[in-house]
Amino acid sequence: LSDRLQGAISQVSSGGTITEADLKQMMREIRLALLEADVNFQVVKTFVKSVNERALGSDVLKSLSPAQQVLKIVDEELTALMGGELVPLNFSAKPPTVIMMAGLQGAGKTTTVGKLAKFISEKENKKRPLLVAADVYRPAAIEQLQTIGQQLGFDVYSEGTDADPVRIAEAALNQARLQGNDVVIIDTAGRLHVNEELMAELRNIKAVANPQEILLTVDAMTGQDAINVAQSFNESLDITGVVITKLDGDTRGGAALSIRSITDKPIKFTGQGEKLDALEPFYPDRMSSRILGMGDMMTLIEKAQQDFDEEEAQKMADKIKDASFDFNDFIAQMDQVNKMGSIKDIIKMIPGLNKLPGIDEFDVSEKDMARVKAIVMSMTPLERTNPDIISQSRRKRIAAGAGQDLQAVNQLIKQFNQTRQIMSSASNGKMGNMKKMMNQ
Ligand code: GDP
Ligand code: MG
């Protein structure tokens, strides 16, 4: 999606003003981009219409940076399309809060139960979620939930495969009340396709469990189908929210764009991987930026806040501020970044830098890291803190000391200078926010 939209936008962004014909062409590209991303036809139609009306009504044609204006409108409309704002989980004033999962087989229900339990205990401070195995049709499904419970250290309520899921839900709730669990998350069975038998079972569980949340999990990679599934589940179950799973495998984001406006139910979370921490609250504005390829600053910031040792982050922020970033920091930063994921992934999330030429070569493997460290260790302390003094003859000496060839040393110094440049543009330019957040 983003490539095509970006193309449409940059087509007109070079020149100053644009004509009505340019705008028409742009709308055509936007429409195609959305359709290609499997966004529902009706949704596309309404969306393009409102963007077009706003663009025409807002003097875009006379403005100095029309492409920027249109981009802003598209961004705002995409955000609105996906619900505008984060919709948090509902918690009951009288615990336990009951969250019931629903969805087709393989959509990611059981995994999401684990992810939610972890999220709720860490972010919502509800320390004792009880996981309930109400998918009784396959022994493997129960074992899967038990494994997840064990991994996270949470209790799993199960009665094996012989019991009735509705009775299980009821009994689990009783146990939760007795044991003082503050949240109960009910895993349910799915089917390969939507059918009445499944819906009836889910409705019966809903009737006894009286859940605050019925979260439908849909697989982003099923595209248009995810939207149909969401519509049927919502019609027969009146869901309270949606979790879009496997968004890590779907670059087009079509499901995210359609589901809200088709079902009028909020997307509450997205699944971004198989691991139990790969769950993110759904912020429509961030998703819109991501789709538009403008980078997802807030997600980056949160990632940084999670993984950076705070003291380290503060030190780094100071270095960025006074531009005294040196090779010692470079190494420290590499270690930090390594914890957060690949450097390339991180940089791609930073607005303005994701289009950097050569960004794709900017990855550093473990092997590279070892080589880089060897080279830096061969520098004298003076060289490490004053990188600018590293002359040709010093480079030769460093290369020999590190057992690397001169080219490797040259390359590293080049990369270091690039990083330093990024750092300084970060503190001056578009990324002033990053500095702000690091200082918080
Ligand atoms: P269920 O049948 O609905 O309970 O689905 P499961 O939770 O068993 O998940 C089915 C498969 O999808 C498993 O292999 C999960 O690891 C995988 N999965 C679930 N959520 C995600 C996600 O967000 N990203 C990725 N890549 N895989 C996921
Ligand atoms: Mg399951």
DSSP category for residue 90? P
Q: Which residues surround ligand 2, an ion (CB under 5 A)?
A: 109-110, 141
Q: Report the alpha-carbon distance of residue 412 to residue 355 in Å, rounded.
A: 21
Q: Ligand 1: distance of its center to the CA of 245 in Å?
A: 7
Higher pLDDT, 266 or 5: 266
- Region 405-421 average pLDDT: 85
For atom 20 of ligand 1, the residue with the nearest CA is 108
b/e map of 312-343 (b: 16 or more CB within 10 Å)?
ebeebbebbeeeebbbebbbebbebbeeeeeb
Pair of tokens at residue 133: 């195995």
Using an 8 Å Cβ cutoff, are 73 and 55 in contact? yes
| Residue 192 Cα to ligand 2 middle (Å) | 12
**Predicted confidence band at 9 (pLDDT cuts at 50, 70, 90)?**
low
Q: If you measure from the C-alpha of residue 112 to the centroid of ligand 2, how many angstroms do you get, rounded to a whole number? A: 9
Closest to 211 (Cα-Cα) out of 173, 179, 171: 173
Q: Is the pLDDT of residue 279 over 70?
A: yes
- Among 133-137, 168-172, 184-188, 340-344, whose mean pLDDT is lowest? 340-344
Cβ atoms of 239 and 250 closer than 8 Å: no
pLDDT tens for residues 299-314?
A: 554 554 455 455 565 6
Give ∠ CA 270-276-281 in degrees, rounded to 5. 30
- Round to whole Å and give the CA distance between 214 and 239: 5
Q: What is the ipTM for the molecules in this complex?
A: 0.99
Question: Over 50: is that where the pLDDT of 432 sits?
Answer: no
Q: Is the pLDDT of residue 100 over 70?
A: yes
Q: Does 136 score more than 90 pLDDT?
A: yes
Question: Distances in Å between the alpha carbon of 54 and those of 60, 61, 69, 295, 423?
Answer: 9, 11, 10, 24, 37
As a whole number, mean pLDDT of residues 397-401 equals: 92
Residue 307: what pLDDT?
52
Instruction: Check: CB of residue 215 under 8 Å from CB of residue 112.
Output: yes
Among 190, 187, 186, 165, residue whose Cα is nearest residue 104: 190
Indicate whether residue 249 lines ligand 1 (CB < 6 A).
yes
How far apart (Å, rounded) are the C-alpha atoms in residues 204 and 101?
Answer: 13
Most confident of 18-22, 75-79, 151-155: 151-155
| pLDDT at residue number 436 | 43
The sign one gets for the Cα dihedral 226, 228, 230, 236 is negative
Residues forming beta bridges with residue 97, ordered by sequence position: 183
- pLDDT score of 337: 60
Write out the binding residues.
103-110, 187-191, 245-248
What are the backbone dihedrals phi and psi of residue 219, each rounded to the nearest 5 degrees, phi first?
A: -85, 115
Pocket flag, ligand 1, residue 258 (CB < 6 Å): no
With cut-offs at 50, 70 and 90, classify the pLDDT of residue 366.
low
Q: Domain extents for the chain? A: 2-81, 97-282, 300-439
**Which atom of ligand 1 lies nearest, measured to the CA of 249?**
26
**What is the torsional sign of CA 113, 117, 118, 120?**
positive
In this structure, which CATH number among 3.60.20.30, 1.10.260.30, 1.10.260.40, 2.130.10.30 belongs to the domain 300-439? 1.10.260.30
Percent of the chain with pLDDT over 70: 74
pTM: 0.69
CATH code of the region 2-81 = 1.20.120.140
How confident is residue 244, by pLDDT bands cut at 50, 70 and 90?
very high
Q: Whole-angstrom Cα distance, residue 327 to residue 83?
A: 45
- Predicted confidence at residue 159, as pLDDT, reads 95
Grade residue 423 by pLDDT with cuts at 50, 70 and 90. Answer: low
CATH 3.60.15.10 fits domain 97-282: no
Q: Going by CA atoms, what residue is nearest to atom 2 of ligand 1?
A: 106
Both tokens assigned to 398: 């460093």
Q: Determine contact, residues 157/131, Cβ cutoff 8 Å.
A: yes
pLDDT-derived band at 229 (thresholds 50, 70, 90) equals very high
What pLDDT score was predicted for residue 253? 76
Would you state the pLDDT for residue 171?
A: 97
Q: How high is the pLDDT of residue 6? A: 63
Q: Judge if the beta carbon of residue 419 lies within 6 A of ligand 1.
A: no
Spatial CB neighbours of 169, under 8 Å, sequence gap ≥ 6: 100, 132, 134, 186, 205, 208, 209
Q: Kindly tell me if the per-residue pLDDT of 62 is higher than 60.
A: yes
- Residue 74 CA: distances (Å) to CA of 80, 211, 273: 10, 36, 28
pLDDT score for 26: 77
User: Mean pLDDT for the chain?
Assistant: 82
pLDDT of residue 224: 83
Q: Quick one: pLDDT at residue 323? A: 60
Confidence of residue 282 (pLDDT cuts 50, 70, 90): very high
**Model confidence pLDDT, tens digit, residues 167-208:** 999 999 999 999 999 999 999 999 888 899 999 999 999 999
Mean pLDDT of 342-369: 59
In terms of Cβ atoms closer than 10 Å to its own Cβ (0-12, 13-18, 19+), residue 262 is: middle
**Lowest-confidence segment of 39-48, 274-283, 360-369, 393-402 by average pLDDT:** 360-369
